[in-house]
């Protein structure tokens, strides 16, 4: 049986790919469970000419149940939604998505899947904004421990993990 070949990098919940320098980088596969477009030009002087928020993944998939074999990627980027459902219809909800009431179960499943699709010694880059849910509570949802991280600004954290062989 032929081995499936994937790009080296998986963005597990790409949204509108805002953090990417090249939003069409061929080294990455972009997945998200939603495909949608939202205007940001509301006809006001402050919003005039703003480009719409566009979420168009390469593959429609939920990061809690990814359709890839174990050990498919060298690098996984995990930047899940970080706000609750009250933000669903605002610009932040449209840009990043939102967490359901069972946010802890969803993130626990996301971490599990991200590590499952990583190759041994692969790297997981986790980005989290702790405006509503503290980073310590989120990191407690995975048995994996980050190697290092960085706090950027008031609330955004970057955590780097490496998958060790079982």
Distance, CA of 166 to CA of 152 (rounded, Å): 32
Q: Is the pLDDT of residue 123 over 60?
A: yes
Domain edges within the chain: 9-19+26-32+54-162
Distance, CA of 91 to CA of 39 (rounded, Å): 9
Q: How many helices (H) and strands (E) does the chain have?
A: 3, 9
The predicted pLDDT at position 56 comes to 94
Q: In the predicted model, what is the mean pLDDT of residues 61-70?
A: 97
- Average pLDDT in the chain: 90
CATH assignment of 9-19+26-32+54-162? 3.40.50.150
Q: Is the pLDDT of residue 43 over 90?
A: no
**pLDDT digit string, tens, across residues 82-102:** 888 776 677 777 777 888 889
Distance, CA of 57 to CA of 108 (rounded, Å): 22
pTM of the model: 0.90
């Amino acid at each position: 049986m032929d081995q499936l070949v994937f790009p080296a990098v998986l963005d597990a919940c790409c949204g509108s790919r805002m953090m990417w320098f090249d939003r069409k980088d061929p080294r990455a596969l972009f997945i998200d469970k939603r495909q949608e477009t939202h205007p940001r030009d509301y006809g006001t002087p402050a919003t005039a000419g703003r480009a719409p928020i566009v979420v168009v993944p390469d593959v429609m998939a939920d990061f809690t149940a990814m359709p890839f074999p174990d050990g498919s990627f060298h690098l996984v980027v995990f930047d899940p939604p970080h706000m609750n459902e009250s933000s669903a219809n605002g610009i932040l909800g449209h840009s990043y998505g939102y967490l359901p009431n069972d946010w802890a179960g969803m993130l626990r499943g996301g971490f599990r899947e991200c590590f499952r699709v990583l190759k041994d010694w692969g790297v997981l880059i986790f980005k989290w904004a702790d405006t509503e849910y503290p980073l310590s509570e989120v990191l407690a949802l995975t048995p994996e421990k980050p190697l290092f991280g960085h706090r950027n600004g008031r609330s955004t954290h970057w955590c780097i993990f490496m998958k060790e062989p079982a």
